[in-house]
Amino acid sequence: MLQSQPRFLTLEGGEGAGKSTVLSALRDALLADGQDVVCTREPGGTPLAERIREVLLGVGDEPMDAHAELLLMFAARAQHVTQVIRPALARGAWVICDRFTDSSYAYQGAARGLDTAFIAALERGAVGIVPGLTLLLDLDVASARARTRGRDLLGESAPDRIESERDAFFEHVRMGFRERATREPERFRVLDASLRAEQVAANAVAALADYRKQWS
């Protein structure tokens, strides 16, 4: 069974789309309104899930099987949901998560070609919750590449195992996200991430305000 959680917000999109800036802006907007907010990320968000993240993103000698990748993503997610997300929601906090199950549909489903029905079974069996609002930061692959390359040149980080994939992979990721947004227009808001970071953040805050009006 899947349960939609109104105070659970997720950010999705490819690398270089500006999720961190948007996450801070959403957190600040909720804090300014006196709300309790928990910010977290996937894969990761608990000590054990962060260890799984290291396994997932580390560049090793042995190629990772696509199902191993999918199952590790869900192992980290199950831990994260139980330890962090559900308890926070239960006490009435907002949870803003940088990536969630939609990333598994886009990366492991659309881009790696794994069976969507299998992913859906894992979602139902091991996760059980769906965000009330998902902001998709949509950016074309060439612009995203230019941004992440700039980051790498600044020495902020070397590309991880998934960032090292080819452009065709990221085209599939982008299409995977957009397809999900089209299928669930109630839950998704698609934001143009090619705009200036401050503008994208302002649009995200406006989308959240609009979403919150549903209950007032």
Give residues in contact with ligand TMP (CB under 6 A). Answer: 15, 41-43, 73, 99, 103-104, 107-108, 162-163
**How far is the C-alpha of 123 from the C-alpha of 2, rounded, in Å?**
8
**Please, which residue, 30 or 43, has the CB nearer to ligand TMP?**
43
- Residue 37 C-beta: closest distance to ligand TMP, Å: 19
Q: Which amino acid is at 76?
A: A
Strand order in the sheet with 3-13: 37-41, 94-98, 3-13, 129-138, 188-192
What are the φ and ψ backbone dihedral angles of 181, each rounded to 5 degrees? -65, -40
| Min CB(111)–ligand TMP separation in Å | 8
Burial string for 12-38 (b: 16+ CB within 10 Å, else e) reads bbbbbbbbebbbebbbebbeeeeeebb
CA dihedral sign, ordered 139, 142, 143, 146? positive
Which residue lies nearest ligand TMP, judged by its C-beta?
107
Residue partners of 44: CB distance under 8 A and separation at least 6: 50, 52, 53, 76, 80
Q: Which structure tokens are listed for 48?
A: 């054990």
The amino acid occupying position 62 is E
Q: Which is nearer to ligand TMP, 7 or 99 (CB)?
A: 99
